[in-house]
Amino acid sequence: MSDGDQSEASGWVEFDWTRERYEDLIRRVVPEYDEQESLMAEAVRAALPSAGRGPFRILELGSGTGTLSRFLLKVFPEAELTALDVSPAMVAECQEVLACFGARVRVVEAGLATADLGEGYQAVVSRLAIHHLPHAEKRALFDRVLTALAPGGVFVDSDMIAGENEAEAAAILDEWRAYMVSRGDDPAEWEEWLVGDDDFPGSAQGRLTWLREAGFADVQIIWKRANFAIIRALKPRGSSGGEDAGG
Write out the residues near ligand SAM by the rule CB under 6 A: 8, 12, 26, 62-64, 67-68, 85-87, 90, 111-113, 127-129, 132-133
Residue nearer to ligand SAM on the CB measure, 73 or 152: 73
Residue 142 and residue 82: Cα distance in Å, rounded? 18
Q: Nearest approach, Cβ of 246 to ligand SAM (angstroms)?
A: 26
Q: Nearest approach, Cβ of 102 to ligand SAM (angstroms)?
A: 22
For the chain, the maximum distance between any two Cα atoms, rounded to a whole number of angstroms, is 50
Q: Nearest approach, Cβ of 225 to ligand SAM (angstroms)?
A: 15
Residue nearer to ligand SAM on the CB measure, 214 or 230: 230
- Residue number with the smallest Cβ distance to ligand SAM: 64
| DSSP helix/strand/coil, 222 | strand
Of the candidates 105, 104, 61, 106, the one whose C-alpha atom is nearest the C-alpha of residue 84 is 61
Q: Nearest approach, Cβ of 130 to ligand SAM (angstroms)?
A: 8
Residue nearer to ligand SAM on the CB measure, 89 or 180: 89
228-234 vs 149-160, strand pairing mode: antiparallel
**Which distant-in-sequence residues (6+ apart) come within 8 Å of 122 by Cβ?**
48, 51, 56, 57, 58, 149, 150, 152, 153, 154, 245, 246
Q: Nearest approach, Cβ of 21 to ligand SAM (angstroms)?
A: 12
Q: Nearest approach, Cβ of 31 to ligand SAM (angstroms)?
A: 13
Residue nearer to ligand SAM on the CB measure, 44 or 86: 86
The answer to whether the CB of 193 falls within 8 A of the CB of 29 is yes
Residue nearer to ligand SAM on the CB measure, 129 or 150: 129
Q: How many Cβ atoms are within 10 Å of 166's Cβ, its own excluded? A: 8
Residue 60 and residue 78: Cα distance in Å, rounded? 16
Residue nearer to ligand SAM on the CB measure, 128 or 239: 128
Residue 33 and residue 228: Cα distance in Å, rounded? 10
